[in-house]
Amino acid sequence: MRQERVEEYLGAVYRLRSDADTPLPLAQLAEYFGFSPVSVHEMVQKLEEGGWVQYHPYRGVTLTEAGTDAALALLRRHRLWERFLSDVLSLPWDEAHTVAGDLEHAAPEAVTERLSAFLGEPEACPHGGPIAPQATSALEQCLRSLGVGAEARVTRIAPEAPDLLRRIAQLSLMPGSLVKIVAQTAEATGVALLAEGGRQAVVPAADARAVWMEIV
């Protein structure tokens, strides 16, 4: 197995899983990568042989300790590069995410640590993802799930799909933004309406599911 492939799989498992013990169905991994389920199954078997994941037939994969460590290290590198690209080189945040997706595989531990120090030991990526690997705050709720009248602060955008990031940026909904839900459209197909610092914006339901908030 090539190192980069291993990392991509472990990173994906970490990002997509709901919690550490609930196995992630291979179908979800396949869909995430756009690979056939058969290919993902093959790769997962190799990952299990390598001691990175545990495979639970008919249920999915969980990360072993080694797998979790590797995934966390990857995510940390990813987010540090994102900060560098975004803060130091002023790259748009969707491009920062994309480029970091390559750089993340090419920085040994020593470089990562020095990069973190240079950046001032940041705590989150430009999209709100934690850099010091810690549990996601249990207080986070997605924008979609908030009711009319709620006031909340954006903590994070996840998942970090480039086109989604571009739309979110246009609405100025970056982490830190304070927001009040002023209206809500009908059910599944609906959108959420909200006002922020005077301005108003309409967030499509699908996008609202990727915006995570903390009620204030």
CA 88 to chain centre: 21
By CB under 7 A, the residues from 45 to 84 that bind DNA are 45-46, 57-59
We find the least distance from the C-beta atom of residue 82 to a second copy, in angstroms, to be 12
Per partner kind, with CB cut-offs from 5 to 8 A, the member of Mn ion, a second copy, DNA, none near residue 46 is DNA
The residue among 5 and 56 lying less far from Mn ion, judged by its C-beta, is: 5
- Note if the bond before 159 is cis, omega within 30 degrees: yes
Q: Is 94 in the site for Mn ion (CB under 5 A)?
A: no
**Contact code string over 10-49 relative to a second copy, x by CB under 8 A:** ----------------------------------------
Q: Contact at 8 Å (CB) between 207 and 165?
A: no
**Contact code string over 118-147 relative to a second copy, x by CB under 8 A:** x-----------------------------
The residue among 46 and 105 lying less far from a second copy, judged by its C-beta, is: 105
- Burial state string for 36-66 with b = 16 or more CB within 10 A and e = fewer than 16: eeeebeebbeebeeeebbebeeeebbbbbee
From start to end of 8-50, where are the E strands?
none
- 210 burial via Cβ count (<10 Å: 0-12, 13-18, 19+): buried
For residue 17, give every residue at least 6 positions away whose Cβ sits within 8 Å of its Cβ, in sequence order, or none. 23, 24, 62, 63
Q: Contact at 8 Å (CB) between 212 and 141?
A: yes
Q: Which stretch binds a second copy (CB under 8 A): 12-20, 104-112, 153-161, 206-214?
A: 104-112
For residue 100, give every residue at least 6 positions away whose Cβ sits within 8 Å of its Cβ, in sequence order, or none. 78, 79, 81, 82, 85
Q: Is 21 in the site for DNA (CB under 7 A)?
A: no
Q: Is 103 in the site for a second copy (CB under 8 A)?
A: yes
The residue among 42 and 102 lying less far from a second copy, judged by its C-beta, is: 102
Q: Contact at 8 Å (CB) between 154 and 212?
A: yes
The residue among 60 and 130 lying less far from DNA, judged by its C-beta, is: 60
What residues line the site for DNA (CB under 7 A)?
A: 1-2, 5-6, 25-27, 34-43, 45-46, 57-59
The site for a second copy (CB under 8 A) is made up of 85, 88-91, 95, 99, 102-103, 105-108, 110-111, 114-115, 118
